[in-house]
Amino acid sequence: MEREFVEWLVRQVPADPRLEVPAGDDAAVLRPPASRRTVVTVDMLMEGVDFVLGPDCPPEAVGHKSLAVSLSDLAAMNARPEAVVVAVALPSRGGESLGRRIHAGLAALAARHDVAIAGGDTNAWDGPLVVSVTAIGSVPPGRAWRRDGARVGDRLLVTGACGGSLLGRHLAVVPRCREAAEIAGRFDVHAAIDVSDGLSLDVARLMAASGTAAVLDLAAIPIHPDAVTMSRQAGDSRSPLEHALGDGEDFELVLAMAPEVAAAAVAASGTGALDVPLTIIGDVIEGCGLFVRDPDGALAPLAPRGFLHALEG
Amino acid sequence: MEREFVEWLVRQVPADPRLEVPAGDDAAVLRPPASRRTVVTVDMLMEGVDFVLGPDCPPEAVGHKSLAVSLSDLAAMNARPEAVVVAVALPSRGGESLGRRIHAGLAALAARHDVAIAGGDTNAWDGPLVVSVTAIGSVPPGRAWRRDGARVGDRLLVTGACGGSLLGRHLAVVPRCREAAEIAGRFDVHAAIDVSDGLSLDVARLMAASGTAAVLDLAAIPIHPDAVTMSRQAGDSRSPLEHALGDGEDFELVLAMAPEVAAAAVAASGTGALDVPLTIIGDVIEGCGLFVRDPDGALAPLAPRGFLHALEG
């Protein structure tokens, strides 16, 4: 019964001082932090597209992932997570048990990032599972990391390593919220994006928004061990580097910074001063698109690779 | 192609001074109005459950309805609509044309209510159409109309008339945003809810949240002409009143007010002073549940009727 399930859900949500009116009313009322902007992002995850329920993907992992991808968007804006609302379409049969387990996964991650669960919309149907998470964060005025702020001469950096997320990391997403706050506290970032659809594709998006081009240093791209494992699997014809450039769902951050700031950030990274690994992967240049350098130093175009939702006609 | 469609969507969105960073980035950045709370609500509409695409329900109507139901939730909180983010799962085949038409319906209503379209998430799959709208509004601190504020002795009022929304009003929803603002500007409202699942069911929810019961005056329930039409249809065994009490998707507001305030509001309603029709439909009493009065004046329980999403096991 939906009503009892929703009442159960509402009881699960801990009281939060940010909520003037908590979940259970027509809408939630939030006390926005003083002198900060409100940052909003939504992501919809669909069964069969973004996850396949099964032994490797229990409902808790769906709950985790659906919140994690939205938190990653907040991190990519330098926004502090504040609250979340969750809409679900559950299958009529077995939907309540599924809903409880999705909630458990989502609530655990929300607690870890101090995000208030402010409300939601619970539905049942005979279709596949759909989860839509809207995350609300905050950032001081003018301090959001936009996509359009990269400048010619900037260096491009990436947190962590990329590729092979399908081996499991695409579910166990670790949104880089704390790392973003840590970086923003010490270094000036001109532009940022999170790697959702593929490192090269998302760098291309960052460059397109900024009206600039990028030269990537392929030898410098941090390749995740999962990318190596995947490239060794039977039938896989792609190199670890190709996996790192095109797999997507890494949810690492790509940042554009002035050269001296980038150097200082890399020097600090991996030390106690800045926990997150940071690697310089390229440079922002005039023009449009992605490039690599030939052995003789000439620029050659690089086709962005990554995941695109197909819409026909 | 999703990318081009998303770029098209982003270009459709007019610039809005409330947006520091508009649609097209990892997240939108909103300038929240000073000294107001942030109000958030989400609603997910699913093909085959909330609408059936066809001659009577073009994609534009789906766009309209998906925003209207969220605006109705904001109205029920006395919140002024500010911004909206929209997540869609479109069918791979024909999804782009569908998406454009959904956007058209949604954008027209957004313009009418001065709501900024702040962003979204566009997906394609082989499943049915799903639209999830998160609406963000604002309200002065302590001024939200909660469900739990009804007091014993209050009168219950409803805007407009109920029943028979399936004849078309469930699609052409008129969210009572302006009416809510008009009422809040002149009268003290103790509690409110919008009629989404059925007048009697939603009044029962309002009473449950407030820890009170209601006596409904069945002779006073404003019955929509559509309820009369539906009850005359072949095979329909319900009276117009039963339709008004249980049909749902009327998206009228139920309000609890002190008796003298309720009388003043009804006196003002329908005049130039207060445009919206307001009708007193009952009283808040001690106890739990819904009641009607027998001809001899004794209280008899009334079973709430309305739409509940079925979740099995």
Q: Decide if A98 is inside a domain.
A: yes
The predicted model gives B1-25 an average pLDDT of 85
CATH classification at residue A75: 3.30.1330.10
pLDDT at A310: 58
At position B286, the amino acid (one-letter code) is E
Last residue of a domain, one of B97, B123, B139: B139
Q: What is the ipTM of this complex?
A: 0.94
User: Is residue A31 in a domain?
Assistant: yes
pLDDT band at A307 (very low <50, low <70, confident <90, very high): confident
Number of domains chain A contains: 2
The CATH number that applies at residue B154 is 3.90.650.10
Mean pLDDT along residues B59-80:
98
**Any residues with CB less than 8 A from the CB of A196 and at least 6 apart, and which?**
A69, A72, A202, A248, A249, A251
Grouping H, G, I as helix, E, B as strand and the rest as coil, residue A290 is: strand
Please determine, for residue A61, whether its predicted confidence score (pLDDT) is greater than 50.
Answer: yes
Q: Would you say residue B309 lies in a domain? A: no
Domain assignment present for residue B307? The answer is no
Same domain, B161 and B288: yes
Gap from B227 CA to chain A (nearest CA, Å): 25
Average pLDDT over residues B150-161: 98
CA distances from B38 to A26, A86, B81, B142, B206 (A): 13, 17, 10, 12, 22
* Sign of torsion over alpha carbons A184, A189, A191, A195: negative
Contact present, A264 and A208 (Cβ < 8 Å): no
**B284 in the same domain as B152:** yes
Distance from CA of A99 to the nearest CA of B (A): 10
Return the residue of B nearest to A210 by Cα: B25
Average pLDDT, chain B: 94
Torsion over CA: B104, B178, A133, A24 (sign): negative
CA gap A121, A114 in Å, rounded: 21
Q: Are residues B105 and B177 in the same domain?
A: no
Determine, yes or no, domain membership for A145.
no
pLDDT(B6) > 70: yes
The pLDDT assigned to B306 comes to: 84
| Closest in B25, B43, B88 to A146, CB measured | B25
Whether residue B194 is contained in a domain is answered as yes
Domain boundary among B117, B139, B161: B139
Nearest to A308 among B2, B20, B128 (CB): B2
Q: A214-226: per-residue pLDDT in tens?
A: 999 999 999 999 9
Check: CB of residue A168 under 8 Å from CB of residue A56.
yes
Task: Give the nearest chain B residue to A196 (CA atoms).
Answer: B26
Q: Which of A79, A105, A139 is the last residue of a domain?
A: A139
Residue type, A261: V
From the list A27, A93, A193, which residue is nearest B41 (CB)? A27
Contact B94 A313 (CB under 8 A): yes
Regarding whether A279 and A159 lie in a shared domain, the answer is yes
Among candidates A27, A193, A308 on the partner chain, residue whose Cβ is nearest the Cβ of B26: A193
Q: Are A39 and A125 in contact (CB under 8 A)?
A: no
Instruction: Indicate whether B118 and B8 sit together in one domain.
Output: yes
Residue A130: is its pLDDT beyond 50? yes
Q: Do A92 and B30 touch (CB under 8 A)?
A: no
Q: Is the pLDDT of residue A5 over 60?
A: yes
**Residue B138 distance to chain A (closest CA, Å):** 8
- Which of A52, A82, A132 is best to mutate for the B interface (most B CBs within 10 A)? A132
Verify that A123 and A173 share a domain, yes or no: no
Of A128, A66, A98, the residue nearest B47 (C-alpha): A128
Please answer yes or no on whether A311 and B5 come within 8 Å at the CB atom: yes
B312 within some domain: no
- Containing domain of residue B52, as a range? 2-139
Q: Place A208 in a pLDDT band, splitting at 50, 70 and 90.
A: very high
The pLDDT assigned to A309 comes to: 61
Which tens digit of pLDDT belongs to each residue from B253-295? 999 999 999 999 999 998 877 888 999 999 999 999 999 998 8
- Same domain, yes or no: A173 and A267: yes
Q: Using CA coordinates, name the residue in chain B closest to A87.
A: B44
When pLDDT is averaged across residues B183-206 and rounded to a whole number, the result is 97
pTM of the full structure: 0.95
Residues of B in Cβ contact (< 8 Å) with A124: 309-311
Averaged pLDDT for residues B2-26 = 87
Cβ–Cβ gap A77/B25 under 8 Å: yes
Residues A224 and A263 reside in one and the same domain: yes
Find chain A residues with C-beta within 8 A of B25's C-beta: 77, 144, 146-148, 209
Contact call for residues A197 and A306 (beta carbons, < 8 A): yes
* pLDDT(A127) > 50: yes
> Given this model, what pLDDT does residue A6 score?
84
A77·B48 Cβ contact <8 A: no
Tell me the per-residue pLDDT of A145-167, one tens digit each, with 9 for 90 and over.
999 999 999 999 999 999 999 99
The pLDDT confidence band at residue B1, using thresholds 50, 70 and 90, is very low
Q: What is the pLDDT of residues A41-54, one digit of tens each?
A: 999 999 999 999 99
Contacts of B29 in chain A (CB under 8 A): 37-39, 77, 79, 139, 144
State residue B87 phi and psi, 5-degree precision. -110, 135
pLDDT-based confidence at residue B309 (cuts at 50, 70, 90):
low
Residues B20 and B84 in one domain: yes
Contact between B1 and A73 using a beta-carbon 8 Å cutoff? no
- B187 pLDDT band, cuts 50/70/90, is very high
Q: What is the pLDDT of residue A312?
A: 56
Put simply, the answer to whether A77 touches B141 (Cβ < 8 Å) is no
Q: What is the pLDDT of residue B310?
A: 58
Nearest Cα residue in chain A from B135: A27
A34 shares its domain with A98:
yes
Same domain for A268 and A198, yes or no, is yes
- Flag if A118 and B40 touch (Cβ within 8 Å): yes
Residue A183 inside a domain? The answer is: yes
**Is there a single domain that holds both residue B97 and residue B151?**
no
What the block records as the tokens of A7 is 């009442």
